[in-house]
Amino acid sequence: MSQLERSLKATSVSETLSTYNEWANTYNQDVEKEEYVAPLLASQDLLTHLNTQISSAKILDAGCGTGLVGEALTNLGASNIHGIDLSPGMLEVANRTGVYKSLNVANLAEKLDIPSQSYDAVICVGTMTEGHVGPEAFDEFVRVTKAGGVIVSTIRESVWQVKGYEDKVNGLEEQGRVKIVGRKREHQRIGAGVYAVVGSFAAAQYDQEKQNKDATCNNNCFFKYFTNKCNADNPACVCTLKDMREKFFCCIADNCAANVLPEQSERSSNDCDAHGIPFTFDAEAICGIKLPASSETVSVSVTTSEATTVPKAKATESVTTTEETTSAMATVAATESSAASQTTSAAAATVTDNNASRAKGMVAAAAVALGVFI
């Protein structure tokens, strides 16, 4: 059984780790034989989003493996690249490339030891596939990406739907955390006939400082109108629960105008349940105040493709082929978010179906969690 087959059939983190540590020193040669072009194609996609900013952008290569993506990005002008990977053995090889500012061991299936909004861009190539990193990793990618940042990811087509990646991305958009800005299907490994989904996402970010202000403001209003005025322990209360709730939300609008939660604005038009009682509240009409519009939005583009192997090309070269390909790139451009980004509506996802006569070199591969080509 090849190392690639072993990696795809791994059933535990320890098994995956062992496989990639053993494979590290021959990995590049093995994937070159399979014409693995996903690192180059994903890097080129990221370049289209960053343009001239790529030279100064702080980029996280999630699941960097032996550094193929880092080398491709460097050849395209990037100079501030940081890599994380599950396998110390793979990281040793990546370190020899000399293109990374930092390299650290990390499990993409867990919460990352990285502060929120640390990177201008996140790129993940070849890690989201069978036996590797699941769709939950998108939550962390969005969290560590700065407002206005971009996330590019490749997901093996064979797992895109059945393993929940598509549902995850769609869910993030529905929550207002990202906006799908691109999705396409491309070859991943030309020689193996494998396709991958390449998705591009613009993601909304959560502002911790604003969250704290929102919480304080809401609590002050809550205690003012619920605890001190009208509650079950106050028999002298003359206002109805509805009146109390109206005063509560007016308090928020009057005193927290700079950081009103988007969810409060939503209550202007939607029925909601508070303490189990259906309630419709027109904040602007009742309070006589204009609620600020939420600034939190995210755009996301996703492309699906099955990986195929193509002859390995230099990062500065483009590979052409007549074989039909589909690529799926996920790019996440994060924008400033308010305290309740989940309520902000995201723009509808746009899907681009690239079917015929695409360059075989235009391959977005869904490689293994350790940056290994699948």
Task: Give the number of C-alpha atoms closer than 13 A to the C-alpha of residue 288, restricted to the C-beta side.
Answer: 0
Task: Examine the domain organization and report whether 182 and 304 are in the same domain.
Answer: yes
DSSP state of 114: S
Q: What does the pLDDT read at residue 4?
A: 66
Those residues whose C-beta lies under 8 Å from the C-beta of residue 106, and which sit 6 or more positions away, are 84, 85, 86, 112, 113
Query: How far is residue 61 from each of residues 69, 148, 158, 260, 324, measured CA to CA in Å?
Result: 7, 18, 23, 35, 28
Is residue 300 within 8 Å of 199, Cβ to Cβ? Answer: yes
Task: Examine the domain organization and report whether 165 and 244 are in the same domain.
Answer: no
Query: How far is residue 221 from each of residues 77, 204, 214, 274, 320, measured CA to CA in Å?
Result: 51, 27, 11, 15, 62
Give the position of tokens 């605890």: 227
Residue 120 CA to residue 102 CA, distance in Å, equals 16
Residue 356 lies in a domain: no
Task: Examine the domain organization and report whether 43 and 97 are in the same domain.
Answer: yes
Residue 221 CA to residue 256 CA, distance in Å, equals 9
Task: Examine the domain organization and report whether 302 and 283 are in the same domain.
Answer: no
> Helices 13-33 and 88-97, interaxial angle, to 10°?
40
Task: Examine the domain organization and report whether 180 and 308 are in the same domain.
Answer: yes
Number of domains in the chain: 2
Among the candidates 268, 287, 306, a domain finishes at 287
Residue 86 CA to residue 78 CA, distance in Å, equals 23
Task: Examine the domain organization and report whether 108 and 196 are in the same domain.
Answer: yes
Please give the full DSSP string across 329-365, using - where no structure is assigned: ----EEB---TTGGGSPPPPP------SS--TT----
Residue 191 lies in a domain: yes
Residue 77 CA to residue 261 CA, distance in Å, equals 40
Task: Examine the domain organization and report whether 108 and 199 are in the same domain.
Answer: yes
Q: What does the pLDDT read at residue 249?
A: 60
Task: Examine the domain organization and report whether 41 and 164 are in the same domain.
Answer: yes
Is residue 343 within 8 Å of 101, Cβ to Cβ? Answer: no
Residue 44 lies in a domain: yes
Which segments of the chain are extended strands (E)? 58-62, 80-85, 100-105, 119-128, 145-156, 178-189, 194-203, 271-274, 277-280, 298-301, 305-307, 333-334
Give the three-class secondary structure for 158: helix
Residue 318 lies in a domain: yes
Residue 353 lies in a domain: no
Q: What does the pLDDT read at residue 119?
A: 95
Give the structural domain span for 230.
208-287
Task: Examine the domain organization and report whether 212 and 201 are in the same domain.
Answer: no
Taking the CB of residue 98, how many other CB atoms lie within 10 A of it? 10
Give the three-class secondary structure for 189: strand
Task: Examine the domain organization and report whether 223 and 327 are in the same domain.
Answer: no
Q: What does the pLDDT read at residue 372?
A: 29
Is the pTM higher than 0.85? The answer reads: no
Task: Examine the domain organization and report whether 222 and 144 are in the same domain.
Answer: no
Judged on CB neighbours under 10 Å (0-12, 13-18, 19+), 244 is: middle
Point out the residues of the chain with pLDDT beneath 50.
190-193, 206, 227-241, 257-281, 283, 289, 291-374
Return the structure tokens found at 249: 């939300």
List pLDDT tens digits, range 159-179.
888 888 889 988 887 777 777
Task: Examine the domain organization and report whether 54 and 133 are in the same domain.
Answer: yes
Return the structure tokens found at 330: 């996920």
Among the candidates 287, 305, 320, a domain finishes at 287
Taking the CB of residue 252, how many other CB atoms lie within 10 A of it? 26
Taking the CB of residue 162, how many other CB atoms lie within 10 A of it? 9
The pairing of beta strand 298-301 with beta strand 194-203? antiparallel
